[in-house]
Amino acid sequence: MLDVPNETLLEVKHVTQRYKKASGEEGSTVLDDISMKLEPGEIVGLLGRSGCGKSSLLRLVSGLATPASGEVVYRGETVDGPAEGVAMVFQSAALFPWLSVISNVELGLRALRVSEEEARKRALAAIDLIGLDGFESAYPKELSGGMRQRVGFARALVTRPNILLMDEPFSALDVLTAETLRSDLIDLWCEGRMPIKSIMMVTHNIEEAVLMCDRIIVLSSNPGRIASEIRVKLAHPRNRLDPEFRQLVDQIYALMTKRAVTDRVGRDGAFPGTGLGMALPRVSTNSLAGLLEEVAAPPYNGKADMPNLADSLQMEINELFPIAETLQLLRFAEVEEGDIRLTLSGRRFAEAEVDVRKKLFGDHLLAFVPLAARIRRVLDERPSHFAPLTRFKEEIEDYMSEIYAETTIRSVIDWGRYGEIFEYDETRQGFSLENPV
């Protein structure tokens, strides 16, 4: 792709984005003062954990959303709606189930008033390019996940976009299918057979980012900011076992688990918000106990390298990080520089019997999760020892979106039940101290 004029394709200028509450008011900040450029001929990866706003950023770039402040400039003009020349591939392929493969691919062209014959010709060419020959008349529900995502690619490419946006396009696929699709895409890109000038992709898979991207932008959460930018200079096709490749992966893991020294609240900084306003991830107590046991046992013996752990557990960072960070929040483990190390309590937990575990967990929950402590205190103070769910949910909704509030309160219910620090009654929609008979 050397023939393209060397001018910036797209520029994001000081963009800030906030949650919209149901009432229409603006809520907490998702993205904070993001600036970046997209140059011709490069693949840029946006890497970050869940909730860091990487998908929000992609939607701003595509024009599907408008920023609260700042602007996105594409070819010298401010983006204020889906721009022509920018096409998107969605996580779930997002095909129209009532349209056949070819009709799905043609749809974007027909919307642009391309004539029927021309649309048919171009759609067939795109289907051919992406390896979907013979599936033209199939309906999406007849296809496997990988084939559906290929249709998603064909649909995007057929409009001859300058920029291809991809929102975790391989994350819904199984490992083998994802790998085939990645290498096919990189082959097409390297051979210059796709009409696109550059690609911007969102991912939470560190290896995927290193495998595909020329530039990786790591976003921090709480709120989403650009934490760092890494250039990948390895030549395609890249080899996952190459020492340089491994080193880069390790480096990014370290970067993403680096403790925020400047953060006011010290080590709680992993989750957005502080105190009562801390947005907690949905992590089951089984996963927490499972990870503690895994790290406590050989070969790790209490300290594990996160990339290795992720590999052996077949987990991606969006699954592994929340568990590790919840353990860190509860002071059962410390996560630093791409390593996870059990604390003394963490080791005790891993070795203990069920009842001791529950006691220990409950104590740590009350000590380190402000919302859990608050619920318990309110229950202790009330003569009825009962408090409705909405009372706490509305309180934390001041700090976070309704969706996060729901997730947070469900997690605390789950953890509180395990630690036996309170009861939750679904029928009465409230917390109590009594034990069910």
- Residues of the shown chain interacting with other proteins in the complex, contacts defined by CB under 8 A: 24, 59, 62-64, 66, 80-82, 84, 86-88, 90-92, 94, 96-99, 107-108, 110-113, 139, 141-142, 155, 159, 426-427
> How far apart, in whole angstroms, are the C-alpha atoms of residue 374 and residue 412?
11
Give me the least distance between CB of 104 and other proteins, in Å please.
9
CB of 321 to other proteins, least distance (A): 24
Q: How far is the CB of 131 from other proteins (least distance, A)?
A: 21
Instruction: State which residue, 96 or 391, has the beta carbon closest to other proteins.
Output: 96
Amino acid at the residue 48: G
The answer to whether 86 touches 62, Cβ cutoff 8 Å, is yes
Least spacing, CB of residue 80 vs other proteins, in Å: 5
Quote the CA–CA distance of 247 and 430 in Å, as a whole number: 50
- Of 136 and 294, the one with the shorter C-beta distance to other proteins is 136
* DSSP letter for each residue of 105-132: HHHHHHHTT--HHHHHHHHHHHHHHTT-
Rank residues 66 and 407 by Cβ distance to other proteins and give the closer one: 66
Local structure of residue 194 (DSSP, 8 states):
S
Minimum distance from residue 428 beta carbon to other proteins (Å): 12
> What DSSP designation does 388 have?
E
DSSP 426: T
Name the minimum Å distance from CB 65 to other proteins.
9
Looking at the Cβ atoms of 78 and 312, the one nearer to other proteins is: 78
Whether residue 40 contacts residue 77, with contact meaning beta carbons closer than 8 Å, is answered with no
- Distance, in Å, from the CA atom of 139 to the CA atom of 4, rounded to the nearest integer, reads 37
Nearer to other proteins, 87 or 342 (CB): 87
User: Nearer to other proteins by C-beta: 88 or 342?
Assistant: 88
Cβ of 229: how many Cβ atoms within 10 Å? 11
CA distance 13 to 296: 46
Q: Is 342 left (phi over 0), alpha (psi -120 to 50) or beta?
A: beta
